[in-house]
Amino acid sequence: MAATTTDTALTEDVFVPLNFVLFCAIVAATVVGIPLYGYYYGFSLFDWVLSFVMYIVTGMGITVGYHRLVSHQSFECPDWVKASILVAGGWALQNSALKWGGDHIRHHAKTDQIEDPYNVTKGFWHSHCGWLFYNTPHRTEKYEIRLRRDPVVMWQHRYYWPIVVTGLLLPFVLGVWQGGWQGGIGAFLLGGLFRMFMVLNSTFTINSLCHMIGTQPHGTQDSSRDSWLISFVSFGEGYHNFHHTYARDFRNGPKWYNFDPSKWIIYTLWMLGLAHNLRRNDPTVG
């Protein structure tokens, strides 16, 4: 009977209060706090430009680093380049590359099944963000085995929270340098919190909307779909049906005209000699 109880416990999701509190705090700051601050004090052009730049840098840290480099090994690069990209990904507050990658590998292995962390069959809100509030470590650890052999990934995992803090301090410090203490607050709110909220949701759209709307030109093996529109807010990740069919391809948008800035960054790194072994898995696209 004890064994049965243990087995049952291992199949239950565990609520994670920290994730819930952090998410609610970021949403509250973005929806209420930032508009109020903007109304009473306003934001400078510097604040908006910094927010946009940080959005691109941290978003690419997720798509190029966490996703294509770590989770799928779509290309290889020197350790210092990998570390730099993973620091940028850590600024997005989406967990360490180890944990993010483990969840994502499990998603590909168990798409639309009970073990899929962002299982779209449980509804939009679960796949978009609700899954973050529950932890199923026993289901993910086996998918982390390869990642745990990577010293750079493990380094980033050990220092994940200091990396997150630097991602919030950087816009504040730059804001103070540019406009004093009030400039620091404005830059922190837009370049830190608002940017974080936007990058979180750009990633979430892939887990939710790209399994609900769009086309399936590359296969109907699961719910993944291509959406060129979502690619514009997700740094090229919207060609999700292609990605699920050819997961190790360094491109998500395989055609030259597909909006996929992440593949362009990887290709640029290759041209500069900072990336190699770019993988192409689709035999029909050059």
More confident residue, 176 or 286: 176
Q: What is the mean pLDDT of residues 239-258?
A: 95
User: What is the structure's pLDDT at 141?
Assistant: 81
User: What is the structure's pLDDT at 4?
Assistant: 36
Phi, psi dihedrals of residue 258, rounded to the nearest 5°: -65, 135
The closest of 96, 27, 91 to 56, measured between CA atoms, is 91
Residue appearing with tokens 């990577």? 150
Task: Enter the tokens of residue 241.
Answer: 């049906």
Task: Enter the tokens of residue 96.
Answer: 């360490």
pLDDT tier for residue 3 given thresholds of 50, 70 and 90: very low
Between the two ends of the chain, the Cα-to-Cα distance in Å is: 58
Q: Are 108 and 244 in contact (CB under 8 A)?
A: yes
Mean pLDDT of the chain: 91
pTM over 0.95: no
Spell out the domain ranges in the chain: 16-271
The helix (run of H) or strand (run of E) holding residue 134 is strand 134-135
**Does 139 have pLDDT greater than 70?**
no
Four-point Cα dihedral 51, 210, 103, 81, nearest 10 = -50
